[in-house]
Chain A
């Protein structure tokens, strides 16, 4: 006796193949031009540089510079999620691809998963570039004591961010230009709230209610944890609450994405605008 019935196994295989294929398209599309890659690494480093120099001039500790570099790297993920993940169904619709995805038997979640994995890999390549270049140019100190915990915290942060991206993608499926404005609205406040350029939680100058709001964004929690383990050299003892919070984000966001996707698909089928363009 097997645990998984043959039909279920076929189903899982098909969905995994679809996710892998979508990931492959994204990786291929994202890395076809070296110049794009260079621009996407160098430009953030310029912004980071402004903050590093400012902090140095103010005589603040060099660890703040390191924090900004990590923040800049994570901003790359947030930008990718907003513009390449959330808006993706919209793009696919414009290209005439949404119908093709909708008539296919694999779950749309697998397709989103593939997009997310491809996006995460592409962005990791960029984030690595940003960190290496940042460290090389600004000579800021990093110290990692527990590589395993650092890896885990990073992975959980990325998964929860892309989980959020999957929720957005589902909500945006039926929308056109409006999605754009929402994206614009979400971009800067999240950079600010999540503490990409300066810490926003565990600091007394920020009002408590704002700190609490900020922790509702997975990026804030992830960023704080990553900084602790890579700059302050802290370990599991310091970041276990972060890890639990990130796991909670993931456990909530992925099912919510699935529900949103089903809801939007049904709404589209009922209202007759599932694959309509120019609405």
Chain B
């Protein structure tokens, strides 16, 4: 059965004026996207890729330079007030609210911006507080909460109007592992009726892989690939992914990229052990000997190596030629 389209963009483009002297910044460049009802869609890309710009346009906070953006069939730049009734937005790392109000009072306040009745508000607040593990803090002033709990409060706010479409901009940014897990569970249970849609952005590969039905990989304002994590990974399965542990870390990562047959490489260094892990996507295995001698010439020693199951990170390296970090 084909589901209804919930979020759609057509040739969406946004240009920002650059700083004086520098050129303009193309934050989004002809983005075509269609997200169905019931999907958790992830926009995955590095800092500056255009993720927040995309979210802001869809959430009525920014106008596109050209192109169109629709939420539930409503063109967002022309129907801002209608769109605002059915959406909500959470920007990770932000902690809106009033410090002098308790968790419950803050949530009540947010509910009034959507005109909820007393009973309706109380019910939603009770639910959200439980789902986000805020029960013990319901009467605590926001100013007394830890950053993590303030963020939970912000997440609760994002669902206060029971929106049809939720935009989560890096929702787990700075969130501890437990809170992040709780958020994932909460979103999944909230999505069960099949009419809700989530568009989230992240630069955490694992998060996109675990949470999202579909992922769009975005870099420099363009969507480079868009599919389920499984299919994205399957597409590159023919190209071997290798994990190589070296010491000391590679100084000139670019020299590895110049080895013919190397499609992309990323490096994660461990300062404590003085080692670093290279992730490489190769044309085929024959590249290996060239690669190893280049590593050697860089003055690094291989400690460990092995083939790895393709991850979304490998997909990204495949497309962009470098890692996300």
List residues of A whose CB falls within 8 A of some B CB: 10, 13-15, 17-18, 20-22, 24-25, 28-29, 32, 95-97, 99-106, 111, 266, 269-272, 274-275
Contacts and interface: CB of A to CB of B under 8 A. Distances in A.
B113 A104 contact: yes
Contacts, number: 81
A6 to B, nearest CB: 13
Given A21-B109, A96-B94, A99-B94, A274 B61 contact: yes
B298 to A, nearest CB: 41
A29 B84 contact: no
Interface of B: 14, 16-17, 59-63, 81, 84-85, 87-89, 91, 94-98, 100-101, 108-110, 112-116, 157
Given A32-B100, A103-B61, A105-B81, 13 more contacts: A10-B115, A14-B114, A17-B112, A17-B115, A18-B115, A20-B112, A22-B112, A95-B96, A99-B61, A100-B96, A103-B89, A106-B113, A274-B62
A24 B97 CA distance: 14
A152 B81 CA distance: 36
Contact of A25 (B14, B85, B98): B98
A21 B89 contact: no
A269 B62 contact: yes
B70 to A, nearest CB: 17
Contacts of A269: 60-63
Q: Which of B60, B61, B95, B115 has the largest count of A CB atoms less than 10 A from its CB?
A: B115
Nearest to A106: B113
Given A269-B62, A272-B16, A99 B98 contact: no
Contacts of A99: 61, 89, 91, 94, 96
Nearest to B108: A21
B114 to A, nearest CB: 6
Contacts of A270: 63
A32 B116 CA distance: 26
